[in-house]
């Protein structure tokens, strides 16, 4: 099927909105994406026609809910080339990342061990390991970036000998795509494990966890056209089996006695309590939607937007774009600053014209401090954005410059 952005836009009702009297130009996809009717309808259909608790009743509605929930698990597993039992549902990527630190990390990291991570992590992939290192007396080794926001090979030895590495697949500030498979090889040579944060890659490019050979892979539903409140953790089955549970309670036990219990098989062992059934079903539909469009086509479209935007924004005097110069090395995220203008003022001004951009540290304060840059503005694209929207953005930025400098 031909990629037709106008046709895709028709699926997203919010894109027809006016904001402050202007057509919405939504360039804050790095924070959260908009949702197509297919996802909204799937959630409505679930509540209207099938709602019941899962894995518990033997009545018709419970059977239907359980079937829809488990079908969505299969859809999501297939989307990243995993097996369904390797897919754990959480409430977001932050919970998925914390789950690894709280279970695998707590059980395996000892005093003096090394944990590796990068300076470009989102706080959710960074802080759980800072906290664990502090608690256990472990050493945190942080891979730094070069002037283009790429981790140079001279930093790779920091991965050697690490018990675990928490690595962002694509940075939510620089857009940099890290060589996850190569990093994994280095870690595995000395018996360590690798956790990849795919929050900013899964919505924008084809991901295959088997090919990547990562041990854990975390992502979040709301950035990939799915609802809020639902996240995913992939883990290699043998690792999930040996890890202790995260939360205790209903659904995660196979047998409960007065003073003991036996936990359920994976993935249920990690899904205590009533799950976000509607969220899972919505996320399954989002994965189906992206699959039907085709992730290669999504990536190509976003790459052409990215190249176009880098060229247009790069021509604005006083504007500095952070991250790799070559579009192929990054995802559709452009963080930038304009000399003499705060990113907050810029975003507020653009909002008056219906343009949604993010400003601040983007939950990556250590990166901003390392690069010695101020909180930045960030335009981030999704499959429904257009070159015409970038053409509207650039003259507005010029207007801000005139008004504020």
Ligand X SMILES: Cc1ncc(COP(=O)(O)O)c(C=O)c1O
Beta carbons within 8 Å of 154's beta carbon, 6+ residues apart: none
* List 5, 295, 363, 394, catalytic entry: 363
x/- map, 8-47, ligand X, by CB under 6 A: ----------------------------------------
| Choice between 122 and 288, CB closer to ligand X | 122
The yes-or-no answer on residue 214 being catalytic is: no
Candidate segments 174-182, 193-201, 289-297, 386-394, binder of ligand X by CB under 6 A: 193-201
| Closest approach of ligand X to the CB of residue 233, in Å | 11
214 three-class SS? coil
| Choice between 36 and 125, CB closer to ligand X | 125
Among positions 345-384, residues that touch ligand X (CB under 6 A) are: 363
Q: Whose structure tokens read 């359980």?
A: 66
Q: Whose structure tokens read 């297919």?
A: 38
| Closest approach of ligand X to the CB of residue 362, in Å | 7
Among positions 228-247, residues that touch ligand X (CB under 6 A) are: none
Contact between 299 and ligand X (CB under 6 A)?
Answer: no
x/- map, 170-189, ligand X, by CB under 6 A: --x-----------------
Contact between 167 and ligand X (CB under 6 A)?
Answer: no
16 three-class SS? helix
Contact between 65 and ligand X (CB under 6 A)?
Answer: no
Contact between 220 and ligand X (CB under 6 A)?
Answer: yes
Give the Cα separation of 20 and 352 in Å (integer).
Answer: 6
DSSP string across 109-158: --TT-EEEEETT--HHHHHHHHHHHHHHT-EEEEE---TTS---GGGGGG
The continuous run of DSSP H or E covering 185 comes out as helix 180-189
| Closest approach of ligand X to the CB of residue 58, in Å | 35
Of the candidate residues 92, 276, 337, 376, the single one contacting ligand X (CB under 6 A) = 92
Alpha helices in 294-364 (DSSP H): 295-314, 343-351
Contact between 90 and ligand X (CB under 6 A)?
Answer: no
Contact between 98 and ligand X (CB under 6 A)?
Answer: no
Contact call for residues 328 and 302 (beta carbons, < 8 A): no
Contact call for residues 12 and 36 (beta carbons, < 8 A): yes
Of the candidate residues 8, 93, 202, 286, the single one contacting ligand X (CB under 6 A) = 93
| Closest approach of ligand X to the CB of residue 92, in Å | 3
- Closest C-alpha among 284, 282, 170 to residue 228: 282
Candidate segments 99-107, 120-128, 140-148, 315-323, binder of ligand X by CB under 6 A: 120-128
- Assign residue 249 a region (left: φ > 0; alpha: ψ between -120 and 50; beta: otherwise): left
| Closest approach of ligand X to the CB of residue 304, in Å | 22
| Choice between 227 and 267, CB closer to ligand X | 227
210 three-class SS? helix
Contact call for residues 198 and 209 (beta carbons, < 8 A): no
Contact between 163 and ligand X (CB under 6 A)?
Answer: no
Candidate segments 62-70, 90-98, 147-155, 293-301, binder of ligand X by CB under 6 A: 90-98
Contact between 94 and ligand X (CB under 6 A)?
Answer: yes
**3-state secondary structure string, 49-105?**
HHCCCCCCCCCHHHHHHHHHHHHHHHHHHHHCCCCHHHEEEECCHHHHHHHHHHHHH
| Choice between 120 and 310, CB closer to ligand X | 120
Contact between 125 and ligand X (CB under 6 A)?
Answer: yes
Give the Cα separation of 171 and 361 in Å (integer).
Answer: 13
Contact call for residues 316 and 338 (beta carbons, < 8 A): yes
| Closest approach of ligand X to the CB of residue 172, in Å | 3
| Closest approach of ligand X to the CB of residue 246, in Å | 15
- Footprint of ligand X (CB under 6 A): 92-94, 122, 124-125, 168, 172, 197, 199-200, 220, 363
Q: Which sequence positions are flagged as catalytic? A: 363
């Amino acid at each position: 099927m031909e990629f037709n952005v106008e046709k895709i836009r028709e699926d997203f009702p919010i894109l027809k909105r006016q904001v402050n009297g202007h057509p919405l130009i939504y360039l804050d996809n790095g924070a959260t994406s908009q949702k197509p009717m297919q996802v909204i309808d799937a959630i409505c259909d679930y509540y209207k026609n099938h709602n019941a608790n899962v894995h518990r009743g033997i009545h018709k509605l419970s059977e239907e809910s359980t079937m829809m929930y488990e079908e969505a698990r299969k859809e999501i597993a297939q989307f990243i080339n995993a097996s369904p039992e390797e897919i754990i549902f959480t409430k977001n990527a932050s919970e998925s990342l914390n789950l690894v630190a709280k279970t695998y990390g707590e059980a395996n990291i000892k005093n003096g061990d090394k944990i590796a991570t990068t300076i470009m992590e989102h706080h959710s992939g960074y802080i759980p390991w800072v906290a664990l290192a502090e608690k256990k007396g472990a050493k945190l080794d942080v891979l730094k970036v070069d002037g283009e926001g790429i981790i140079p090979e001279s930093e790779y030895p920091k991965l050697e000998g690490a018990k675990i590495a928490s690595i962002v697949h694509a940075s939510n500030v620089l857009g940099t795509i890290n060589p996850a498979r190569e990093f994994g090889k280095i870690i595995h040579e000395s018996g360590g494990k690798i956790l990849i944060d795919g929050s900013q890659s899964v919505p924008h490019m084809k991901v295959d966890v088997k090919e990547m050979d990562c041990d854990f892979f975390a992502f979040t539903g709301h950035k990939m056209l799915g609802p809020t409140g639902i996240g995913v953790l992939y883990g290699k089955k043998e690792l999930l089996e040996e890890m202790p549970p995260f939360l205790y309670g209903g659904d995660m036990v196979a047998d409960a006695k007065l003073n003991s219990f036996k936990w359920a098989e994976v993935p249920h062992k990690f899904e205590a309590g009533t799950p976000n059934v509607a969220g899972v079903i919505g996320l399954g539909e989002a994965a189906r939607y992206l699959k039907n469009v085709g992730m290669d086509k999504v990536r190509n479209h976003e790459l052409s937007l990215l190249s176009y935007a880098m060229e247009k924004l790069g021509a604005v005097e006083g504007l500095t774009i952070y991250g790799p110069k070559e579009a192929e090395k990054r995802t559709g995220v452009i963080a930038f600053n304009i000399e003499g203008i705060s990113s907050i003022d810029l975003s507020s001004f653009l909002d008056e014209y219906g343009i949604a951009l993010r400003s601040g540290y983007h939950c990556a304060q250590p990166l901003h401090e390392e690069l010695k840059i101020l909180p930045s503005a960030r335009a981030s694209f999704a499959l429904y954005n257009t070159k015409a929207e970038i053409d509207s953005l650039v003259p507005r930025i010029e207007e801000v410059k005139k008004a504020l400098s």
